[in-house]
Amino acid sequence: MEALELRRAYRDLTTAHVADALIRLGLPVRSAPAGVLPLWEGAHLVGRALPARHYGSVDVFLEAIDRAEPGDVLVVDNAAREDESCVGDLAAHEAAAAGLAGIAIWGYHRDTADLRRIRLPVFSRGALPAGPQRLDEREPDALAWAAFGPHRITAADFVVGDDDGLVFAPLDHAAAIADAAAVIRDVERRQADRLRQGATLREQVRFAEYLAARDRDGTTFRQHLRAIGGAIEE
């Protein structure tokens, strides 16, 4: 999927929809660890991953951006270090000017007020005033992959982000994931509409039937939901 197709396919899908779709398709769910959140509420991010591992200097980001295509998401690996921030306003300005969709940081940012003014979606573990005071030797494959928590992210992945955090998924499955996520979204919206109209969730998912099937043959709730087209959990 190209950048414009990704934006169109995922613009009305949440990270929760995407995570559930990955489970439905039998694909790994690679979520950013809890605590990696956007700088402002309501941010939505989708784009191909542009990995970069940080060694203390902004040059690795500039090189990554130089190779980027509009709509990419800069995925920064700073090993979740708690002694420094690694992305500030200048890097965000550069990314925005190059047409990137946003920045996802496995670490900390600074210049929060400026970043909010730039309005490029930025996700991080939080803010930290101190920048790098080191310059480590850069590895040859610094732009080939980035660690994000326990996950290794490459250009073969794309990123979806919102108020719940980040999810990484394989780019070659982007269309199938979007289709499955849209089905889940639509079912959940119908269920929510019916709840507002007075139909309890237990009624909607035919909970009494599930209890009988569970006692009769060990049917799990997820098996029951799939059989009736429910989408509460995967």
Identify the burial level of 45 via C-beta atoms within 10 angstroms of its C-beta, where 0-12 means exposed, 13-18 middle and 19 or more buried. Answer: buried
68 carries a ligand binding annotation: no
Does 111 fall in a domain? yes
pLDDT of residue 222: 84
Q: Are residues 112 and 189 in the same domain?
A: no
Q: Are residues 63 and 167 in the same domain?
A: yes
Domain boundary among 134, 149, 176: 176
* Rg of the chain in Å (alpha carbons): 20
Q: Are residues 64 and 141 in the same domain?
A: yes
Q: Tell me the per-residue pLDDT of 60-92, one tens digit each, with 9 for 90 and over.
A: 999 999 999 999 999 999 999 999 999 999 999
111 carries a ligand binding annotation: yes
Alpha helices in the chain (DSSP H): 3-10, 15-24, 59-67, 89-97, 112-118, 174-196, 201-204, 207-217, 221-228
Average pLDDT over residues 6-28: 96
Q: Are residues 98 and 191 in the same domain?
A: no
3-class secondary structure, 154: coil
Q: Tell me the per-residue pLDDT of 109-165, one tens digit each, with 9 for 90 and over.
A: 999 999 999 999 999 999 999 999 999 999 999 999 999 999 999 999 999 999 999
110 carries a ligand binding annotation: yes
List the structure tokens of 3. Answer: 């950048």
22 carries a ligand binding annotation: no
Q: Tell me the per-residue pLDDT of 126-136, one tens digit each, with 9 for 90 and over.
A: 999 999 999 99
Q: Are residues 133 and 156 in the same domain?
A: yes
pLDDT band, very low/low/confident/very high, at 230 (cuts 50, 70, 90): low
What is the rounded average pLDDT for all residues in the chain? 95
How far does the chain reach from its first CA to its final CA, in angstroms? 25
pTM, rounded to two decimals: 0.91
pLDDT of residue 1: 87
Domain that holds residue 194: 183-228
Total domains in the fold of the chain: 2
Q: Are residues 106 and 202 in the same domain?
A: no
Q: Are residues 134 and 211 in the same domain?
A: no
